Chains A and B, each alone.
Chain A
């Protein structure tokens, strides 16, 4: 069993009056030829690694390998705890956790690629936040991850989930879209509302280029994880309110694929354009030229 469009996925869930996560995990169990319980167990394991990364990154931030980032998640968390924030409690909570995970990745800590290492902060950021705020079990969050991955699979098939292929819209964009859909389900929304949230995120990140400074997964990656998390929450709320995307979600995904193909090579992970090619970006890149290492 597999789905090639969000429409098919939503129809299947609605026909059977089940959540998208149910459809996704049954599909996975069938394709892998293992029991549903085993598939659920595997996802739970991924979730616990994500959660651990978010907590570690907030508690003991480390400088990144390239030295360009480190500690921003904690900084935002402290600010949130002390102040009445502008964007609100939940968004800031999710953003600080997303930043924390991106920092763990950049400092050689353990993460789950979601869908890639560069965009690994978005899902744990928002999911840990809704877990805490809505008092959800780890099993429930793992269900959210199944929903997220069902959307991720369709994005990967119809467009791309690689920055080198489709720019950052394919990494942080896909992660945000997957997170938006998962949030809707976890908050009690319908399968089609999950599809709307996915569309809202992708529409707003369409065309985002991949331009890592010095080729490192640090700048602007961590901050794009932050914005991806914020966007996912806003998109989920819009969908839950009943707002619909005029362009259907499958067409949005196709547009993202086309935009990705149209991006010049300089804006697809080569570190030759965008922020990487700014005066500061180039100056930072020079610092990383190889010096050799011996024992």
Chain B
């Protein structure tokens, strides 16, 4: 049986109206921002399932944009996030869609162009009680919950990469809490999601990037 804290029952402090459709949406926006490395230049947001139907009455649209702006789930500016996004020059568009079978009813897909011009797609879902999960980056399957600091690598699927990354983290005294590897095809490109107890500093990232088979690594702060 799960042990609850008093603050699981009386909390969180949040901007309403819904933990799944508002607070969860803010966290999805924050994770998309973290993966994109900051406020994107342009974003098209595809809303799926229940998100596509009740987005407005739950402020899901404002919450997603608020998250992209880096707002916390209890930030009252979320209500005005469209205005603030326009002031900050974010070009955005929200579109109802059907992502197809197999997606959680509260799913969203961000089609992002970063300030550096990188094109990126990020899919995630709000799974209840403000909990979220990022399920895909560029249509490759991953799983990232955003509760802990995390690393996402893109690397070639050959022996030794995983132990090299772990070795570097261990060398910096960073404890790995959870870790998973995702690949589409053997020996092609794969992703590794490493959730850690400690924050991963830029110098550690650089070291990981020096591994020849690692093409890219992103550090994601918890949201």
Contacts and interface: CB of A to CB of B under 8 A. Distances in A.
Contacts of B196: none
Contact of A293 (B5, B18, B50, B61): B61
B57 A108 contact: no
Contacts, number: 164
Interface in A2-47: 2, 4, 24-25, 28, 31-32, 39, 42-43, 45-46
A178 B4 CA distance: 15
A201 interface: no
Given A117-B16, A117-B18, A218 B10 contact: no
B148 to A, nearest CB: 18
The residue among A107, A146, A293 with the most chain B CB atoms within 10 A of its own CB is: A293
Interface string A44-60: 01100100000000000
Given A108-B78, A113-B12, A216 B19 contact: no
Interface bin, chain B: 35 or more
A92 interface: no
B57 to A, nearest CB: 3
A116 B20 CA distance: 11
A123 B61 CA distance: 29
A91 interface: no
Interface in B83-115: 85-86, 90-96
B9 A153 contact: yes
A214 B21 CA distance: 13
B57 A109 contact: no
A283 to B, nearest CB: 15
B7 A218 contact: no
Interface in A134-155: 145-146, 148-150, 152-153
Interface string B185-200: 0000000000000000
Given A110-B13, A117-B14, 12 more contacts: A105-B17, A107-B16, A111-B14, A112-B14, A113-B14, A148-B9, A153-B6, A156-B8, A216-B54, A217-B58, A291-B56, A295-B93
27 contacts: A2-B3, A28-B6, A31-B3, A45-B13, A66-B57, A107-B17, A107-B79, A108-B76, A109-B15, A114-B10, A117-B19, A120-B16, A145-B10, A148-B10, A149-B9, A152-B9, A152-B10, A214-B54, A215-B50, A218-B17, A288-B54, A289-B53, A290-B47, A291-B56, A292-B94, A295-B90, A295-B91
Cβ-closest 8 pairs across A and B: A105-B16, A66-B57, A152-B9, A290-B96, A149-B6, A216-B57, A217-B17, A215-B54
